[in-house]
Structure 1
């Protein structure tokens, strides 16, 4: 596939940004030209042939910047290949299960004919912002549950789909 792939994301504490960068790095390794930007920095998707959108999960909802991005660019996104990922569940069991998208993400997937969605474990460590984050950390349930091998494998599937005419 020729053209640029956009990897964009909504994040608060940087964990989802790190996942997005891993996706972008893997796509580049697979020979694609990629730009990775926070969702609030993207003003148009017209230069991009395909888009990967990631959002951190907070209280059962996608990050507000990821939601705004999809809403703001829905007409243009509907005309190109799109993939979604979510991040945020904490705990070792995340890797053992295929977690479905939350309701709002599922609706957007249907409207935009999103090719695939995956949920990756998240990361919540000391210094994270937010009242809920503080409560989780105080309860001892924080940690880094991201699986970068799984993230790379998923990005390789995206690259293979883009290479397939």
Structure 2
């Protein structure tokens, strides 16, 4: 049986989408059938055997599309293997140490019985949407802090756990 994995994401400027695509790509390389989709476009999780949900962090909260996805699919997600990831710190801290989930994500993890969570560095560059984002970039606080080696390692760990579950 081929495990079908959904990697759903909420993003504003596309950086979390790129992380989700990288995760889905590693899962495929590890022999799993996976696809990355915007969380707002997913009508049902019924076709999937496992789900990964990622959200960009904005002012200490997950992206609204990721939050709404969990709420909309909570019953089904509670029955599936589920992992969560956040992206957001605009500094190298996420590559240097484990950053716990923000309180809302931590609550969702407990409610849904999520297998795990990881925080990856974020990316905010010239042309970002939103006044606050543009001010962050203008003040020299933006940049790309995603560590794709870390992202790939985490995705392989998830793939190994899914294969072990059979």
What TM-score comes out, normalization by structure 1 length? 0.98
Question: How many pairs were matched up?
Answer: 165
The aligned counterpart of 1:26 is 26
Tell me the CA shift for residue 94 of structure 1.
2.5
Equivalent residue of 2:150, what SS? helix
Tell me the CA shift for residue 2 of structure 1.
2.5
RMSD: 0.8
Segments of 4+ in structure 1 off by > 2 A?
A: none
Tell me the CA shift for residue 135 of structure 1.
1.5
Residues in 2 aligned to 1:156 and 1:84: alpha-carbon distance in whole angstroms:
14
Tell me the CA shift for residue 99 of structure 1.
0.4
- For 1:104-157, what per-residue CA distance to the aligned partner results, in whole angstroms no more than 9, with x for missing partners? 000000000100100000000000001110111111010000000000000000
1:2 counterpart = 2:2: yes
Residues in 1 aligned to 2:18 and 2:133: alpha-carbon distance in whole angstroms:
18
Equivalent residue of 1:164, what SS? helix
Residues in 1 aligned to 2:92 and 2:161: alpha-carbon distance in whole angstroms:
29
Residues in 2 aligned to 1:137 and 1:65: alpha-carbon distance in whole angstroms:
23
Residues in 2 aligned to 1:73 and 1:2: alpha-carbon distance in whole angstroms:
22
What are the ranges of 5 or more consecutive residues in structure 1 without an aligned counterpart? none
The aligned counterpart of 1:93 is 93
The aligned counterpart of 1:14 is 14
What TM-score comes out, normalization by structure 2 length? 0.97
Tell me the CA shift for residue 3 of structure 1.
3.1
